[in-house]
């Protein structure tokens, strides 16, 4: 090896020296000592490779710590500022919990609880006892069950139908127009197959009639499945069969309504209405329009809920204490008629447009004063519900549009901020929609842009 390369390699700082440097201390404080140390080792190995290939990189303790910080950016679960205008942004965690729900989860996490303990009898209780009475009161259902997500609830419902049907391989009838795929590759046909049921498709993609169902009912028919399209809409020459008409077939009707709307939001089906239309089971998410934690909720006839609760899959899919605590607090907000005030999801969807304009103007004024050289303007925008809900529902909003710099490069720098800020690039500019900014986010946006333009 050449003498110059050998000297450069010999002069690389030791890991301990980097960690003793103030920049190393800051790295450890932010990411933890173990993660920071591992990143420093990785950065030093990268510098060794550069030197061997003939490069002469800067290799001070501070430079190594900066490289390590870059390697750590994006690793680990972190708070992110959502300025995309997508309220239930699947990639950014969908619903933000209410303060009441977060405190309930914190209490459950940091102390013992009566999760499965009956305080009146002093004996064993059930984790399902806490949310079930609230769900009954809110939806009018005979019974309810909470599992870890909506896909799990759908799988468990179908498996319960299969287990209670005399047929060796029962059929579940579903319209071709409802054989959907939603986020993460969750496909209705595959869930049906896993449940042990045989899929019986009826109708066409855009038109399904009640007679299509009637023509295939036989001795092996176990149930009819109705699935809300969630993340798409079929328009034009269409026809479909609702839950009320499906109930006239005399079959158990399982309705996957998806979003969990208990209040009127756009044209989303409300859970209560689905049950009144005759669904034996209505299944929905806890973290979409309901505004709570990730969960799968089934409400409906006691016969089917009991079959789900007693199925062997139920334990594998059960919700943990943090989920149940947050969900109970979320449901209480509905019962106390404070959901619009308490739940960030509903607040963001329903906030009036003048309020959005005022917030955008306030942010733009602060940016103009605090970030010199940045072109700032306030523009009308369109926000979205997201998360597989209301695919064609436009929510008028306002955004701060940033110019005077490469928008993609600026977006990348903001994603490297602490906390990261995520906007959207549109028409050659970076847009920051204020509808999805939470309290305290404006200060984070200003700080991130000040550092990015520094």
Question: 92-143, pLDDT tens digit by residue?
Answer: 999 999 999 999 999 999 999 999 999 999 999 999 889 999 999 999 999 9
235: confidence class by pLDDT, cuts 50, 70, 90: low
| Residue 389 in this model has a pLDDT that exceeds 80 | no
The residue extents of the domains of the chain are 3-72, 81-94+347-452, 99-340
Query: Cβ distance 160 to 308 under 8 Å?
Result: yes
147: confidence class by pLDDT, cuts 50, 70, 90: very high
Q: What mean pLDDT is predicted for residues 210-222?
A: 87
5: confidence class by pLDDT, cuts 50, 70, 90: confident
- CATH number 3.40.640.10 given to 99-340: yes
184: confidence class by pLDDT, cuts 50, 70, 90: low
pLDDT given for residue 1 in this prediction: 56
Class of domain 81-94+347-452: alpha beta
Least confident of 54-63, 217-226, 230-239, 303-312: 230-239
pLDDT given for residue 435 in this prediction: 97
pLDDT given for residue 454 in this prediction: 64
Q: How many angstroms separate the CA atoms of 362 and 351, rounded?
A: 16
Q: What is the pTM of this model?
A: 0.84
Per the model's pLDDT, the better-predicted residue between 197 and 385 turns out to be 385
pLDDT given for residue 186 in this prediction: 62
pLDDT given for residue 204 in this prediction: 82
């Amino acid at each position: 090896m050449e003498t110059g390369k050998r000297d450069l390699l010999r002069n690389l700082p030791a890991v301990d020296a980097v960690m003793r440097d103030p920049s190393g201390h800051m790295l450890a404080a932010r990411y933890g000592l173990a993660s920071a140390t591992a990143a420093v080792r990785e950065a030093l190995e990268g510098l060794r490779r550069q030197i061997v290939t003939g490069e002469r990189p800067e290799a001070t303790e501070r430079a190594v710590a900066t490289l390590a910080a870059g390697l750590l950016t994006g690793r680990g679960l972190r708070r992110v500022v959502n300025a995309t205008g997508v309220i239930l942004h699947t990639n950014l965690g969908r619903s933000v919990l209410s303060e009441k729900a977060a405190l309930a989860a914190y209490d459950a996490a940091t102390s013992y609880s009566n999760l499965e303990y009956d305080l009146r009898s002093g004996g064993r209780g059930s984790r399902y006892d806490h949310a079930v009475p609230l769900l009954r009161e809110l939806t009018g259902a005979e019974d309810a069950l909470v599992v870890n997500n909506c896909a799990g609830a759908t799988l468990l419902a179908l498996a319960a139908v299969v287990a209670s049907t005399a047929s060796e391989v029962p059929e579940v009838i579903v319209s071709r127009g409802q054989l959907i795929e939603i986020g993460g590759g969750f496909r209705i046909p595959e869930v049906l197959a896993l449940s042990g049921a045989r899929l019986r498709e009826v109708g066409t993609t855009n038109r399904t009639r009640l007679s299509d169902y009637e023509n295939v009912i036989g001795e092996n028919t176990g149930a009819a499945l109705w699935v809300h399209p969630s993340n798409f809409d079929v328009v034009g020459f269409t026809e479909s069969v609702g839950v009320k008409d499906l109930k006239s077939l005399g079959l158990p009707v399982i309705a996957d309504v998806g979003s969990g709307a208990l209040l009127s939001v756009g044209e989303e089906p409300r859970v209560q209405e689905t049950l009144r239309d005759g669904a034996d089971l209505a299944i929905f998410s806890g973290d979409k329009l309901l505004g709570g934690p990730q969960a799968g909720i089934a409400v409906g006839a006691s016969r089917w809920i009991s079959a789900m609760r007693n199925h062997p899959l139920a334990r594998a899919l059960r919700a943990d204490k943090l989920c149940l605590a947050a969900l109970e607090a979320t449901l209480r907000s509905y019962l106390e008629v404070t959901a619009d005030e308490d739940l960030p999801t509903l607040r963001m969807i329903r906030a009036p447009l003048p309020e959005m304009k005022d917030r955008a103007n306030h942010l733009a004024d602060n940016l103009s004063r605090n970030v010199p050289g940045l072109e700032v303007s306030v523009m009308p925008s369109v926000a979205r519900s997201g998360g597989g809900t209301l695919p064609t529902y436009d929510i008028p909003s306002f955004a701060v549009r940033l110019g005077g710099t490469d928008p993609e490069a600026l977006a990348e720098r903001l994603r490297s901020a602490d906390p990261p800020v995520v906007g959207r690039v549109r028409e050659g500019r970076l847009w920051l929609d204020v509808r999805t900014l939470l309290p305290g986010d404006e200060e984070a946006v200003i700080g991130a842009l000040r550092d990015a333009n520094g």
